């Protein structure tokens, strides 16, 4: 009897699929055949592990927390709440100084670019990150697949999953990014606008920035200007870049 | 019972009971709090001891899971602050991992006995967790339909109902699919070098 057969027999035995005679035979094997017995124990262990949905959910939740932490560390998500209020004016002043210098430099060497060129110069793909989520419902387990697909640059596949998570800003942000990656700027802009509707979330800064870039690609220059103006006059991480774009528009 | 709020990362502090309860119910604000407050120190420790960022994340996650298992097994009452306990479990888990991989432990050379004396049950949980993590990893790599069929059949749901829920033609098809999926799962587990390692250790 090979291992595959043993495995099948054990599963059928556990599933109660055997007659009394066959059941007795299996039980005898478990008691007398160490190899068979070990295989049986392995099956019981694996069954037990699979039944630990709570553990798998917890692990996925923790993976998400770690990934988000890593992501924040990379500086893409700004933890604005952790900035000391006393430091904020200093940062704003420093940013303003940089902006003024940048503006002067831009004016002295100013050059007009097309919207497409500005997009290309300023668009950076978000680094592919894998992610996993807590599986509070059956469908939640699929979101991890979406991040895998995003990582593999299967953006259409990722979109099909991300778009089911309307209330999840993390998923929605990556939905927007996925649309950009396949040149669907109109869809991307709708997604970013939805994120921005829910004010003061961790994706506000990045969503504003990418929305502005989408408007460039969509030749909606006036809207792009409004967005980049807003960014340039804020503490947004991209305010210097936004200011440069405005000078070129 | 669990404190909420946008400043959960910074302002709100949780006491031992709240942290343990938070882990038990997978409360996101407590889990974020643990990550925010303790992960940097764990990462520093792991990286100083032959590990990298990936190892640090893995140890952080598995430590919380081991603590969760411990909480579920008994009424865990801490006689020290949570960080001391958390770090002890982390350190224990990482040192075991290093020993398994035959890596050197030089900067924080810890006597295993000292750690195990704190909670001998952790050693048992570490072994169970290691095995289950491996099995669960392979289960999660199966196609969704396979995961669903296996999950439902392990809940002793009749094959006829499984067939209806999963869209198979009938109970026979569901049964066939279940066996194929389980066969695939076991073949993936057995082909994993980590499984052979665990098998040889026990």
Residues of B in contact with A66 (CB under 8 A): 35, 39, 57, 60-61
Closest approach of chain A CAs to the CA of B117, in angstroms? 26
- Chain B residue with CA closest to A42: the answer is B186
pLDDT, greater one: B179 or A101? B179
A58 → closest Cβ in B7, B26, B182: B26
Q: Check whether B9 has a pLDDT greater than 90.
A: no
Q: How confident is the model at residue A127 (pLDDT cuts 50, 70, 90)?
A: low
A61 → closest Cβ in B28, B147, B148: B28
CATH class of the domain defined by A80-248? mainly alpha
Residue B45 CB contacts under 8 Å (≥ 6 apart), including other chains: B87, B90, B91, B94, B108
Map out the domains of chain A as residue ranges.
3-51, 80-248
Among A73-87, A97-111, A157-171, B183-197, whose mean pLDDT is lowest? Answer: A73-87
pLDDT, greater one: A235 or A53? A53
Q: How confident is the model at residue A213 (pLDDT cuts 50, 70, 90)?
A: very high
B95 token code pair: 């040192």
Closest approach of chain B CAs to the CA of A229, in angstroms? 28
Q: Check whether B142 has a pLDDT greater than 80.
A: yes
Report the pLDDT averaged over residues A9-16: 88
- Mutation target vs A (from B23, B39, B44, B140; most A CBs, 10 A cutoff): B140
Assess A15–B contact: CB distance below 8 Å, yes or no: yes
Report the pLDDT averaged over residues A172-194: 92
Q: Are B132 and A66 within 8 A, CB to CB?
A: no
Q: Are B182 and A11 within 8 A, CB to CB?
A: yes
B10 → closest Cβ in A55, A61, A82: A82
Report the pLDDT averaged over residues A23-39: 93
Q: Check whether B103 has a pLDDT greater than 90.
A: no
Mean pLDDT of chain A: 81
A108 token code pair: 């002295």
Residue A119 CB contacts under 8 Å (≥ 6 apart), including other chains: A213, A216, A217
- Chain B residue with CA closest to A17: the answer is B175
Residues of A in contact with B53 (CB under 8 A): 70
Taking CA atoms, B81 is separated from A90, B73, B109, in Å, by: 37, 20, 22
Closest approach of chain B CAs to the CA of A174, in angstroms? 21
Q: How many CB atoms lie within 10 A of CB A152?
A: 12
Q: How confident is the model at residue B86 (pLDDT cuts 50, 70, 90)?
A: very high
Q: How confident is the model at residue A205 (pLDDT cuts 50, 70, 90)?
A: confident
Residues of A in contact with B136 (CB under 8 A): 49-50, 52, 55-56, 59
Residue pLDDT, tens place only, A41-67:
999 999 999 999 999 999 999 999 998
B135 → closest Cβ in A50, A63, A145: A50
What is d(CA A89, CA A95) in angstroms, rounded to the nearest whole number? 10
Torsion of the alpha carbons at A214, A217, A219 and A221, rounded to the nearest 10: 50
Closest approach of chain A CAs to the CA of B158, in angstroms? 10
pLDDT, greater one: B10 or A1? A1
What is d(CA B180, CA B168) in angstroms, rounded to the nearest whole number? 14
Contact B134, B194 (CB under 8 A): yes
Q: Are A56 and B136 within 8 A, CB to CB?
A: yes
Report the pLDDT averaged over residues A10-35: 91
The proportion of chain B whose per-residue pLDDT surpasses 90, expressed as a percent, equals: 45
Closest approach of chain B CAs to the CA of A20, in angstroms? 19
- Chain A residue with CA closest to B29: the answer is A65
B24 token code pair: 């038990």
Among A109-123, A151-165, B20-34, whose mean pLDDT is lowest? Answer: A109-123
pLDDT at site B102: 67
Q: Check whether A224 has a pLDDT greater than 90.
A: yes
Among A11-15, A55-59, B20-24, whose mean pLDDT is lowest? Answer: A11-15
Contact A59, A189 (CB under 8 A): no
What is d(CA A178, CA B47) in angstroms, rounded to the nearest whole number? 34
pLDDT at site A47: 96
Contact A202, A231 (CB under 8 A): no
Q: Are B64 and A134 within 8 A, CB to CB?
A: no
How many residues are present in chain A? 249
pLDDT, greater one: A42 or B104? A42
What is d(CA A142, CA B140) in angstroms, rounded to the nearest whole number? 11
pTM here is 0.59
Q: How confident is the model at residue A200 (pLDDT cuts 50, 70, 90)?
A: low
Assess A65–B contact: CB distance below 8 Å, yes or no: yes
Q: How confident is the model at residue A76 (pLDDT cuts 50, 70, 90)?
A: low
Report the pLDDT averaged over residues B74-96: 87
Assess A51–B contact: CB distance below 8 Å, yes or no: yes
A81 → closest Cβ in B7, B132, B179: B7
Among A24-33, A202-211, B42-51, B149-158, whose mean pLDDT is lowest? Answer: A202-211
Highest mean pLDDT among A63-77, A150-164, A180-194, B188-202: A180-194
Report the pLDDT averaged over residues A91-107: 66
3-state secondary structure of A245: helix
């Amino acid at each position: 009897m090979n291992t595959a057969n043993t495995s099948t027999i054990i599963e059928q035995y556990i599933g109660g699929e055997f007659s009394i005679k066959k059941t007795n035979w299996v039980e005898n094997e478990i008691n007398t055949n160490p190899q068979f017995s070990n295989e049986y124990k392995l099956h019981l262990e694996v069954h037990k592990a699979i039944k630990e949905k709570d553990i798998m959910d917890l692990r996925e939740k923790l993976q998400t927390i770690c990934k988000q932490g890593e992501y924040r560390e990379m500086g893409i998500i700004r933890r604005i709440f952790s900035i000391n209020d006393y430091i904020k004016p200093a940062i704003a002043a420093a940013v303003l100084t940089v902006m003024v210098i940048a503006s002067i430099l831009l004016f002295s060497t100013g050059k007009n670019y097309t919207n497409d060129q500005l997009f290309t110069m300023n668009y950076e793909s978000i680094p592919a990150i894998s992610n996993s989520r807590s599986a509070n419902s059956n469908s939640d387990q699929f979101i991890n697949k979406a991040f895998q697909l995003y990582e593999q640059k299967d953006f259409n596949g990722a979109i099909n999953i991300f778009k089911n998570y309307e209330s999840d800003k993390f998923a929605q942000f990556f939905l927007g990014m996925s649309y950009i990656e396949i040149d669907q700027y109109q869809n991307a802009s709708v997604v970013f606008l939805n994120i921005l509707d829910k004010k003061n979330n961790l994706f506000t800064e990045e969503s504003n920035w990418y929305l502005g870039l989408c408007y460039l690609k969509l030749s909606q220059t006036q809207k792009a200007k409004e967005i980049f103006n807003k960014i340039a006059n804020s503490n947004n991480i991209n305010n210097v870049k936004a200011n440069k774009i405005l000078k070129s528009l | 019972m669990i404190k909420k709020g946008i400043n959960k990362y910074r302002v709100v502090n949780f006491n031992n009971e709240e942290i343990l309860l938070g882990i038990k119910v997978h409360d996101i604000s407590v889990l974020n709090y643990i990550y925010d407050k303790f992960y940097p120190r764990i990462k520093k420790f792991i990286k100083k001891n032959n590990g990298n960022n990936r190892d640090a994340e893995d140890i952080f996650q598995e430590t919380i899971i081991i603590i969760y298992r411990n909480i579920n097994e008994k009424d865990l009452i801490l006689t020290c602050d949570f960080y001391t306990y958390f770090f002890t479990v982390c350190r224990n888990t990482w040192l075991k991992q290093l020993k398994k991989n035959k890596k050197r432990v030089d900067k924080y050379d810890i006597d295993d006995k000292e750690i195990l004396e704190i909670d001998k049950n952790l050693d048992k949980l570490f072994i169970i967790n290691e095995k289950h993590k491996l099995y669960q990893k392979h289960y999660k790599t199966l196609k969704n339909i396979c995961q669903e069929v296996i999950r439902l059949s392990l809940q002793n749901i009749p094959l006829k109902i499984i067939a209806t829920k999963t869209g198979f033609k009938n109970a026979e098809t569901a049964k066939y699919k279940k066996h194929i999926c389980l066969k695939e799962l076991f073949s993936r587990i057995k082909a994993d070098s980590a499984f052979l390692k665990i098998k040889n250790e026990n």
